[in-house]
Structure 1
Amino acid sequence: MNNYKIIILVAIIFTCGFAAGIFYTKNDQPQSIKLAKTASQSAKSPVKKNAPDLSDISSKVLIGYVQDYRDPNAIDYTNLTHIIFSFAHPERDGSLSFNGNTAMNNLRKMVKNAHNQDTKAILAVGGWFHIKGGESYEYFKVAMADPTSRDKLVNELAGIAERENLDGIDIDFEHPRSKKDAEHLSAFIHNLSKRLHANEKELSVAVHAKIHSVTGTETGFVLYEPSMFQRVDYVNIMAYDGQWDGGYNASNLSPFPFTENIVNYWATLFDSLNLSKNKLVLGVPFYAQPEDPAIKQVSYEAIIKRNPEYASRDNINLNGTTYYYNGESTMQKKTNLALNNGFGGMMIWEVGLDASGPNSLTGAIAEVLMNTETVPIKYYSVKNSFKE
């Protein structure tokens, strides 16, 4: 009799356990699986999906340079992944100079505003002109050529990145004009990369387009040591100012065929170096070049203020002078060109020249970058985008 009781008890326990297992399977989904909300919870629009964790991955970038005299409170950070403050000026001994207290105050305000908008704040070093006069080239060249001043400049930049809560540094050496220049720049980039990446800061470098706007061939007067591209997170290609090639011609500022040649050159180069093309960022101009070189450039903002319909064009006549620029359609066409060739995003010179509202070129570019149905967006880790 006792044996029967034991058998019956075991059967009951087994049956209850099986039923409980079925109930658990149906009702206790793993925590990582989140069910979509029903239509009744969102009557007006679909539920917005959570964005990827940007601490680990990053989408295509939209990088905007801004000059040091701009009011940081007047900048629209909304669509920018990075904003680059331009410029700190290198001295021959490896120290840094700023354009007075105003520039430093603007840098600090920009960093605060950018971070409030989840935009990374970067400091650019170099540029074309030096605040003491003449080209920045000679100052930068001397600072990088000597190991002592080179190390000092690395320390200065790593230090200011920490003190001012920057997300990184951008190097704008315009331009290495000899093999020695290229070697010194590469050594400088190598040392700075180690310092910045150790503190989870980014490093980018601005580069010449390397393509002649008239002939479409590679220019030989600017030289780069390819190994330096392994050590940076982004390569910002200045795909504009072609008007100076082969005699002044404003229409060669940055036409689409010129950009096609530039994109093809850099994509091919990075493929040959076995480097990720996600590092490549295509630069575009937000200004118009006058047919007469004696006349100043005008901003895209000034063009739109004259007539919003000019947003759909690439050249206009103002006061008897023809100006050439990139309108909304060309900007979006260039953005698709970059994405379709595996580039990591777009770069703007400079955001202070943009129009506000519906004719913003930044907005036009961002629209394409965010259109993942047309152009698939590949996510990758910035932290792992360089090699040592």
Structure 2
Amino acid sequence: MKLLLLATIFAACVLPYATAGRFVCYFPNWAFGRQEPWQFGVENVDTNLCTHLVYAFADLDETTFQIKPNNPAVDIDQEFYRKFTDLKNQNPNLKTMLAIGGWVDSNINDKYSQLVASSENIDVFVGSVVTLLQEYGFDGLDMDWEYPRSEADKTGFTNLLVALKDAFAPFNYILSAAVPAIAADLGYDIPAIETTVDFINLMTYDMHGSWEPDMADHHAPLRKRSFETTDNNVEYSVDYWMANGMSASKINLGMPLYGRSWKLASAMTTPPAPAVGVGAPGPITNEEGFVGYFEICQAVQNEGWEVVQDPDQYIGPYATSPTDVVNWIGYDDLAMLTTKSNYVLSKGLGGAMVWEISLDDYRGACGAGVNPLLTAISRIVVG
């Protein structure tokens, strides 16, 4: 009896740590076009690491307000949609979802605001979503409008989510929303979102970046550092969403599999460090100020980049190049993602999310195995 009592007490004490189990992973429909050997297509997906795979992205037709493929030549003609949902044949427990929006499509004129401003447009959109999900065998939709910004958007976004939830019910489709770290604008009615979505994917990254060209700083800090005057970190973001009405069990903590980079202006490397613009693009991903983890670890391993760790783990590491003009990259490594995964458990969150799976070392080029970051997160969050 005493042992049973102790076991009951122990279970009660660790209960908050047992509420995770969801691991949402975004799949990019563009990475297959990279130069060899770093193309990433559906066939490169490990179906045993993530519980939910989300195909990024579908677009919104600005004339008809229907959902449409972002790249029909890939999504339809090369059958990426079909191959993606067929991944469930490898893992019957896997959920495959479709995301609409993303930064680029969300900021092509004001079409998302127009969508949610009209009940007729919402009805057309919802009907087109159900048709597309049915046709290709998706398990749900991730609404990734970046971002509703006005009172009208807030009301309209809520109406859109309600309409999607109602239409999804007969099919048991999943409804999620990708949301910013801090909902500082007017565009989110958090209690209403709580009642409509199955979960949110909290984009707790890109808190610093190329839009701040004069300052190099880590883009996904876990906690507030002593020099900061604003609350721009993972911990504050999670607490903000929970304090304003979102259940912990519906929050997936976003983690980046990439770094943000700058060119330094001086010998100072400790963030925030003076900079003279964004860093050089990764050799494969080829976007200024952005470097995939698989590119970072190879630069460290093969090109003499120096890595500096934060002993308190308020932020992940940063790496600096041995070049005359020093490139500085702040990123999350295996140690920081392990810390963040344990943070997910300690807060009783529903799970984790990553942007995005083609940025891990999926070829094992750096000696830590294949998909080392995804594997570390999955082992802790999913178990």
Whether TM exceeds 0.5 here: the answer is yes
Instruction: Tell me how far apart the structure 2 counterparts of residues 108 and 143 of structure 1 sit (CA, whole Å).
Output: 27
Instruction: Report the equivalent of 1:68.
Output: 29
Instruction: Calculate the TM-score normalised by the size of structure 2.
Output: 0.73
- 2:112 and 2:145 in contact (8 A); partners too: yes
Query: Using the alignment, how far apart are the partners of 1:115 and 1:255 within structure 2?
Result: 38
Q: Which amino acid aligns with 2:28?
A: Q
Between the two structures, name the one with larger relative contact order (CA 8 Å, sep ≥ 6). 2
2:333 matched residue in structure 1: 327
CA distance in 2, matches of 1:308, 1:193: 48
- Higher mean C-alpha deviation, range 307-316 or range 168-177: 307-316
Q: Does 1:229 align with 2:184?
A: no
Q: In 1, distance between residues paired with 2:45 and 2:67?
A: 25
Q: How does 1:1-388 map to 2 (within 5 A)?
A: 60-70=21-31, 71-92=41-62, 93-98=64-69, 99-104=71-76, 105-118=79-92, 119-130=94-105, 135-136=107-108, 138-210=110-182, 220-226=184-190, 227-244=192-209, 247-248=212-213, 249-257=215-223, 258-270=233-245, 276-291=247-262, 292-293=277-278, 295=280, 296=288, 297-307=290-300, 314-318=317-321, 319=323, 320-356=326-362, 357=364, 358=368, 360-370=372-382
User: Deviation at 1:353?
Assistant: 0.6
C-alpha change, 1:255 and 1:62, in structure 2 (3 Å) is same
C-alpha separation between the residues in 2 aligned to 1:263 and 1:68?
A: 29
Deviation of 1:246 after TM superposition, in Å, equals: 9.2
CA distance, structure 1, for counterparts of residue 131 and residue 108 of structure 2: 21
Q: Which has the higher helix share?
A: 1
Give me the CA root mean square deviation: 2.4
Aligned residues: 299
After superposition, the C-alpha distances for 1:216-273 in whole angstroms (9 at most, x for unaligned) are xxx6325202312211101110001111599444424101111111122122223xxx
Output the TM-score relative to the length of structure 1.
Answer: 0.72
Q: When you count strand as a share of all residues, which structure comes out higher?
A: 2
Is the contact between residue 127 and residue 136 of structure 1 (CA under 8 Å) also seen in structure 2?
Answer: no
By how many angstroms is 1:342 displaced? 1.5
Q: Which runs of 4+ in 1 moved over 6 A?
A: 309-313
Stretches of structure 2 lacking an aligned partner (at least 5 in a row): 1-18, 32-40, 224-232, 263-276, 281-287, 310-315
Note the C-alpha offset of 1:193.
0.6
Identity score, percent: 24
Q: Return the alpha-carbon distance in structure 1 between the equivalents of residues 85 and 349 of structure 2.
A: 26
Q: Report the alpha carbon displacement of residue 86 of structure 1 after superposing the two structures with TM.
A: 0.5
What 5-or-longer segments of structure 1 have no aligned partner?
Answer: 1-57, 211-218, 372-388
Within 1, Cα distance between the matches of 2:347 and 2:210?
25
| Amino acid aligned to 1:280 | I
Paired position in structure 2 for 1:377: none
Contact 2:253 2:351 in 1 (8 A): yes
Q: Which amino acid aligns with 1:64?
A: C
| Equivalent position amino acid for 1:288 in 2 | G
User: Structure 1: which amino acid aligns with 2:219?
Assistant: L
Aligned-partner SS, 2:138: coil
Find the residue that maps to 1:166 and give its secondary structure: coil
| Per-residue deviation, 1:305 | 2.5
| Aligned residue type for 2:340 | K
Contact 2:57-2:100 within 8 A present in 1 as well: yes
